């Protein structure tokens, strides 16, 4: 009895096909894609045009003097990487998981839950990198990023996106309805305001400083600020480690949970 011809196995990176699918969808909804650029830009403009007049320049630990806008701009870069990747990994994934049933169809093909999780993650990181590249270019144009290190801004956005998308996707697998997403908003908003985004860590009360340093966005801000100001330091390495571990744990949990939810 001749065995039927076995088809060539899928490439090692089967998740790319899910990225392709998302690209097809977004190619049509380019408006959604473009709005992703706007949010951080608007923040930056409002600060650069308005608040900067009221605030003195900063002196960084290494002695460099920077304007308030230069101080806040990298934080906007980090925050937009967080928001963008969270949006894709939470709302986007929930919609496809519970309403569209996209993954039910995907898992009837050779793809596995890990391919779904990785595919969605890669997709959101691609977006984060593109937005970040545009934002850094804009910063350079306004003279807000004088250091060559700023070229690594998109890479920092990918690391930040990885952390938040991984964790967000993992949490999404426990969501029962859209209401549950309020918990994420509840965590994100204070983080946005108090992760040394708008004022430096040493201005926080002593007791709050260690709390701030525990949040992932704080580390994202440290990373971006180091790159755009050129004040490179060891704390950036710590930040990368923190974010990488957070993303990896999130991704591993998301894989398991997606498998349990979809392959019942």
**Interface with another protein (CB under 8 A):** 1-4, 6-11, 14, 17, 20-21, 24-25, 100-102, 104-112, 262-264
For residues 121-133, b (16+ Cβ closer than 10 Å) or e, as one string?
Answer: bbbbbbbbbbbbe
We find the least distance from the C-beta atom of residue 110 to another protein, in angstroms, to be: 4
We find the least distance from the C-beta atom of residue 91 to another protein, in angstroms, to be: 14
For another protein, the closer of residues 18 and 188 by Cβ is 18
Percent of the chain that is helix, strand, coil (3-state, to 5): 75, 0, 25
For another protein, the closer of residues 79 and 116 by Cβ is 116
CA–CA dist 245, 264 (Å, integer) = 29
For another protein, the closer of residues 93 and 217 by Cβ is 93
For another protein, the closer of residues 35 and 53 by Cβ is 35
For another protein, the closer of residues 51 and 260 by Cβ is 260
- The encoded tokens of residue 102 equal 């996209």
We find the least distance from the C-beta atom of residue 33 to another protein, in angstroms, to be: 14
We find the least distance from the C-beta atom of residue 19 to another protein, in angstroms, to be: 10
Q: Which residue has the tokens 């699918």?
A: 21
Of 128, 131, 142, 162, whose CA–CA distance to 242 is shortest? Answer: 162
We find the least distance from the C-beta atom of residue 117 to another protein, in angstroms, to be: 15
Burial class (CB in 10 A: 0-12, 13-18, 19+), 61: exposed
């Amino acid at each position: 009895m001749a065995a039927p011809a076995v088809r060539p196995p899928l490439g090692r990176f089967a998740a790319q096909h899910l990225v392709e699918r998302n690209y097809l969808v977004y190619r049509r909804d380019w408006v959604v894609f473009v709005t992703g650029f706007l949010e951080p830009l608007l923040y930056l403009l409002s600060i650069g045009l308005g608040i900067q007049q009221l605030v003195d320049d900063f002196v960084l630990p290494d002695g460099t003097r920077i304007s308030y806008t230069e101080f806040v701009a990298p934080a906007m870069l980090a925050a937009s990487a967080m928001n963008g990747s969270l949006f894709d990994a939470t709302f986007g994934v929930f919609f496809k998981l519970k309403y569209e049933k996209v993954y039910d169809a995907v898992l009837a093909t050779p793809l596995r839950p890990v391919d779904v999780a990785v595919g969605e993650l890669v997709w959101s990181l691609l977006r984060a990198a593109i937005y970040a590249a545009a934002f850094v270019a804009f910063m350079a144009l306004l003279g807000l990023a004088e250091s060559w290190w700023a070229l690594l801004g998109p890479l920092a956005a990918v690391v930040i996106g990885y952390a938040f998308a991984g964790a967000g996707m993992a949490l999404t697998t426990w969501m029962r309805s859209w209401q549950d997403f309020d918990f994420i908003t509840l965590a994100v908003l204070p983080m946005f305001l108090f992760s040394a985004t708008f004022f430096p860590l040493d201005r926080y009360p002593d007791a709050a400083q260690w709390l701030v340093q525990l949040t992932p966005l704080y580390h994202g801000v440290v990373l971006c600020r180091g790159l755009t100001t050129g004040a490179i330091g060891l704390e950036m390495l710590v930040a990368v480690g923190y974010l990488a571990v957070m993303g990896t744990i999130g991704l591993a949990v998301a894989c398991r949970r997606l498998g349990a939810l979809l392959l019942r």
